[in-house]
Amino acid sequence: MTKPMTKTQLVAALADEMGTDKKAASGALDAIVSIITKEVSQGGAVTLPGVGKIYCRERPERMVRNPATGEQIKKDADKVVKMTIAKALKDSVNS
């Protein structure tokens, strides 16, 4: 397995793909991340065509086990960010 792409590498690849400089690509990437963060934190969802859907899901209150002591602890309800991968991306990876 290779190392994940860093933000610097992603910005460079995005600038190359867009045919612009790295500053513009970095600004575009930061704007997209900001929009996704704002929408998902408000309970909405964002669909990235060909990539997937990012959304927030609420988890109910539940009992969990402390692995160190084995003690059962009640964990309050919380929210978790999920992502469903698009079929097109799954198919391209598996082909």
Range 42-56 average pLDDT = 95
Q: Is the same domain home to 50 and 31?
A: no
Asked if residue 48 has pLDDT above 90, the reply is yes
- Residue 2's pLDDT is 86
Task: Give the confidence band of 95 by pLDDT, cuts at 50, 70, 90.
Answer: confident
Do both 71 and 38 map to the same domain?
no
Q: Residue 12: which domain range?
A: 1-42
78 plus 95 within the same structural domain: yes
Question: pTM value?
Answer: 0.78
Three-class secondary structure assignment of the chain = CCCCCCHHHHHHHHHHHHCCCHHHHHHHHHHHHHHHHHHHHCCCEEEECCCEEEEEEEECCEEEECCCCCCEEEECCEEEEEEEECHHHHHHHHC
Residues 67 and 85 in one domain: yes
Q: Above 80 in pLDDT, residue 1?
A: no
CATH of residue 69's domain is 4.10.520.10
Q: Could you tell me if 37 and 56 lie in one domain?
A: no
What confidence tier does 18 reach under pLDDT thresholds 50, 70, 90?
very high
